[in-house]
Amino acid sequence: MPIGYAIPVALLAFCTATAIVAPRPPHTTPSHWSFWVTLQINELPFVGIYILVAISALAFAQGDLDSPGGLEVLGFAVLTVVGLAVLIERALRTPAAFGLTFGRRPWAHILLAPTVKRRRDVALVRNIPYGDAGKHNLLDVYHRRDRRGGGPVLVFFHGGGFRMGSKNREARAMLNQLAARGWVCVNANYRLAPASFPDHHVDGKKVVAWVRSHIGEYGGDPRTIIASGSSAGGHMAAMLALTPNDPAFQPGFEGENTAIDAAIGFGGYYGRIAGPGSSPLDHIGEAPPFLVVHGANDSLTLVEDARDFAGRLRAASSQPVRYVELPGGQHGFDLYYSLRYSYVIEAVAAFGESVRQPPSS
């Protein structure tokens, strides 16, 4: 048995099988083993195929396939490629989930450079302070280099359960792609544990206040501000949408306009993080338009909770509430420029255009 060939094949086979079966805990949880096992293979199945082809070619060159054990391992490698094709097929069902028609995929980017997020036509201004909490009150601005002006604004908050994470992690592919289309995107840090509720959401309000005062310097139009976030960041975006200008979250800047025009959640957590009042569900009522996007196989923030949130919001608000489940989607699907995420980015752009104010004449 060629052990050096068998071990990586077995690891890839296990991760792929877990992604296909998609085990989930009975309740939303901060951590679950299946998330860590499937996070990368679920979004980067093509990379898994590349690895299997490469190690199988190496095994052939070294004569490892001449033995019965080597052929058995090769058989497992072939079955794993079939499993990876299942993951690709699930990602290809994303357009149907949104009910939209998409153009040709940027296949070179998806297949060859899924970890590359930056674009040459987008400028990134880093670490702008918006508050007095040091590194936790810094934000980045993405804008077209020509600053042509009038672009809608997307404000993004990272995930991490209010305990970890930073603006240098998820959604950067989306922020660059939208900025290239003329949007101005803001990616913000906020206070984490040991800070507690409502500190995180006070920081979210401060970011919106900063945007209203300064985003025009970068070509943004503050008449259209969309808040978005992943996981805990989805909680932040929902709270911003459901507590417009609430003085309880604006100590010292109660007079600032912190209302937003729409909200987008990716794998969002919408439950309580402390006592009463700390959940978007505690503030359900009239709201701006919402887009709630959730992976059907999310093993951290369960899809059933997202369905419940969207259903309650739809019943309470007169504005559109769009709920989309991504076939095969896991938590953290926005870490890479994957096939699935390329569709999500275009859907976000379409949603943004549907809610933006027309450019000033």
Considering the candidates 200, 317, 331, 334, report the single residue annotated as catalytic. 331
* Structure tokens given for 262: 């729409």
Considering the candidates 34, 231, 278, 317, report the single residue annotated as catalytic. 231
Contacting residues for 101 by C-beta, under 8 A, at least 6 apart = 95
Query: Residue 64 is which amino acid?
Result: D
Considering the candidates 64, 246, 298, 334, report the single residue annotated as catalytic. 298
308 is an active site residue: no
Contact call for residues 169 and 178 (beta carbons, < 8 A): no
331 is an active site residue: yes
Secondary structure (3-state) at 292: strand
> What are the phi and psi torsion angles at 14 (to 5°)?
-65, -45
Count of all residues that appear for the chain in the document: 361
Q: 282-287 contacts: CB < 8 A, separation 24 or more?
A: 283/239, 283/242, 283/243, 284/242, 284/312, 284/313, 284/316, 285/242, 285/316, 285/317, 286/316, 286/317, 286/318, 286/319, 287/241, 287/242, 287/263, 287/313, 287/316, 287/317, 287/319, 287/321
Q: How far is CA 99 from the centre of its chain?
A: 19
Nearest Cα neighbor of 154 from 358, 349, 359, 361 is 349
67 is an active site residue: no
Secondary structure (3-state) at 98: helix
Q: Which residues are catalytic?
A: 231, 298, 331
